[in-house]
Amino acid sequence: MEEETTTQAEQAEQNVYRKGQKFPVVEGETLNEYQRKLNNIIDAVRSGQMDQTEADARIKELQAQEFGPSSFDIGEFEDLLSRLEGSKVRQQRQRSVEGRRDIMTQGLAGMMGNF
């Protein structure tokens, strides 16, 4: 009977961080800080320097820093919202102008039809 034996690092790689989960390094492009830190955590697990539990905790902390409420900029949101509202007002104004043109065109066509 052949026994299946795997090292701790191989088992961690199989269970948690498979190939393709890291951010790829593309020539000519650089990774941002979040991507570099995440790749470092995955490398540490694969090399056996960190266990799965600690890696999960660090990844959750990293995600909270990057995507949590503290990363939300209310000023930027208000700016985007005001731009959207302005766009909607301009669209409504344009629809009104086009509607008036249609009404005038229909009226003119009706007068021409009466002759």
Q: Are residues 67 and 86 in the same domain?
A: no
Distance CA 82, CA 101 (A): 29
CB burial of residue 45 (10 Å; 0-12, 13-18, 19+): buried
Q: Are residues 65 and 103 in the same domain?
A: no
* Residue numbers of the domain that contains 100: 74-115
User: Does residue 60 form part of some domain?
Assistant: yes
User: Does residue 3 form part of some domain?
Assistant: no
Q: Are residues 50 and 78 in the same domain?
A: no
Q: Are residues 15 and 53 in the same domain?
A: yes
pLDDT in tens, 24-37: 666 767 878 888 88
Distance CA 91, CA 85 (A): 10
Distance CA 45, CA 83 (A): 45
User: Does residue 2 form part of some domain?
Assistant: no
Q: Tokens in use for 66?
A: 């990057």
pLDDT in tens, 75-110: 888 999 999 999 999 999 999 988 888 888 888 888
Q: What is the pTM for the complete model shown?
A: 0.43
